[in-house]
């Protein structure tokens, strides 16, 4: 590429933020953390509206979130550290950095798995239907994940292969991986996933209103929508990752989870038609003891 062509490509490209951390006195304000928190707030608000529309109590959502969010953050970090161990346990790695959540690195599969455990605990405590809650939450999860990707944008991480497309993302030399130092612009995978997730969330809301889905089917559709996008977006990325048979671990995970979600969607659909009549579970009968 000539100097003139390179200049033209840079003009048409997406600039990366000059910084991702601001300081309020001694307190660092990190864009990544703010994006995660903003995503959580949006997910709660969307879930709250949908939960009430299904007959649930508005206060239930926040109480369940108090269980689900901490579990999800821990699960997301565990998945990231386990599937990307080199920065922490490899040569020159620092195990202490496994605790540095603010530097980025929350694996969605771990977050959904352990977050789901937390949500299940919250639903059990409130005696409400966990599948119905998962359905109410599903579109909000996609919106939250879309917002969370802005944190990757500010951190200049998880971008794709070099490209000179008009919407290419400029990456500072300090953030370019080994072997790609000579390239200035890369595939903006954060943007692809952001757009995919927002579109997927809106599509889920439409499907749910159109077909009155319930019993967890909206959630399984969420899984299929997300994993479909994740496969092709993951294939563009060049950050370090574990590989199996030439494919990134997250691609294999997405394929297997997609198949599992499809099976679950079909099985649930055969067992339950339509939507739940109520999100409240039957009250537990009190245990009776013989009089002394």
| pLDDT tens digits along 258-272 | 999 999 999 999 999
pLDDT of residue 152: 92
Is a pLDDT exceeding 80 seen at residue 91?
A: no
| Range 244-261 average pLDDT | 93
30-68 confidence digits (pLDDT tens): 898 899 999 999 999 999 999 999 999 999 999 999 999
Whole-prediction pTM: 0.87
Where does 108-237 have alpha helices with state H?
A: 108-126, 130-155, 189-211, 217-234
Q: How far apart are CA 108 and CA 137, in angstroms?
A: 15
Number of Cβ within 10 Å of residue 70's Cβ equals 13
pLDDT in tens, 130-179: 999 999 999 999 999 999 999 999 999 989 999 999 999 999 999 999 99
Q: What would the 3-class secondary structure string for 58-107 be?
A: HHHHHHHHHHHHHHHHHHHHHHHHHHCCHHHHCCCCCHHHHHCHHHCCCC
* Choice between 70 and 103, residue whose per-residue pLDDT is larger: 70
What does the pLDDT read at residue 98? Answer: 74
For 105-138, the pLDDT digits (tens) are 678 888 999 999 999 999 999 999 999 999 999 9
Whether 77 has a pLDDT exceeding 90, the answer reads no
Query: Is the pLDDT assigned to residue 216 strictly greater than 60?
Result: yes
> How far is residue 25 from each of residues 22, 161, 205, measured CA to CA in Å?
9, 38, 42
- Distance, CA of 157 to CA of 232 (rounded, Å): 17
Cβ count near 39 (within 10 Å):
23
User: What pLDDT score does 102 carry?
Assistant: 63
d(CA 15, CA 11): 9
Phi, psi of 143, rounded to the nearest 5 degrees: -65, -40
Please tell me the distance from the alpha carbon of residue 145 to that of residue 149, in angstroms, as a whole number.
Answer: 6
Whether 171 and 16 have beta carbons less than 8 Å apart is answered as yes
**Per-residue confidence band for 104, with pLDDT thresholds at 50, 70 and 90:** low
């Amino acid at each position: 590429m000539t100097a003139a062509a390179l200049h033209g490509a840079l003009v048409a490209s997406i600039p990366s933020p000059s910084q991702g951390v601001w300081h309020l006195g001694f307190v660092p304000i990190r864009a990544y953390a703010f994006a995660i928190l903003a995503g959580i707030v949006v997910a709660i608000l969307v879930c709250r509206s949908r939960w009430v529309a299904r007959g649930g109590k508005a206060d239930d959502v926040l109480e369940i979130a108090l269980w689900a969010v901490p579990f999800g953050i821990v699960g997301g970090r565990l998945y990231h550290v386990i599937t990307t161990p080199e920065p922490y346990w490899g040569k020159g790695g620092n195990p202490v950095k496994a605790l540095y959540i603010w530097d980025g690195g929350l694996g969605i599969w771990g977050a959904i798995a352990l977050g789901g455990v937390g949500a299940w605990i919250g639903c059990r405590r409130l005696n409400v239907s966990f599948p119905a809650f998962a359905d109410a939450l599903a579109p909000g999860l996609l919106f939250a994940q879309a917002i969370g990707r802005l944190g990757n944008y500010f951190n200049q991480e998880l971008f794709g292969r070099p490209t000179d497309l008009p919407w290419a993302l400029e990456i500072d030399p300090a953030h370019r991986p080994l072997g790609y130092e000579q390239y200035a612009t890369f595939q903006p995978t954060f943007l692809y996933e952001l757009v995919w997730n927002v579109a997927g969330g809106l599509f889920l809301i439409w499907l749910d209103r159109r077909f009155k889905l319930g019993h967890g089917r909206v959630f399984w559709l969420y899984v299929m929508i997300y994993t479909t996008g994740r496969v092709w977006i993951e294939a563009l990325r060049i950050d370090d990752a574990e590989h199996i048979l030439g494919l990134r671990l997250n691609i294999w995970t997405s394929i297997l989870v997609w198949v599992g979600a499809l099976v679950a969607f079909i099985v649930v659909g055969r067992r339950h038609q339509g939507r739940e009549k109520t999100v409240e579970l039957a009250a537990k009968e009190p245990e009776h003891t013989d009089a002394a």
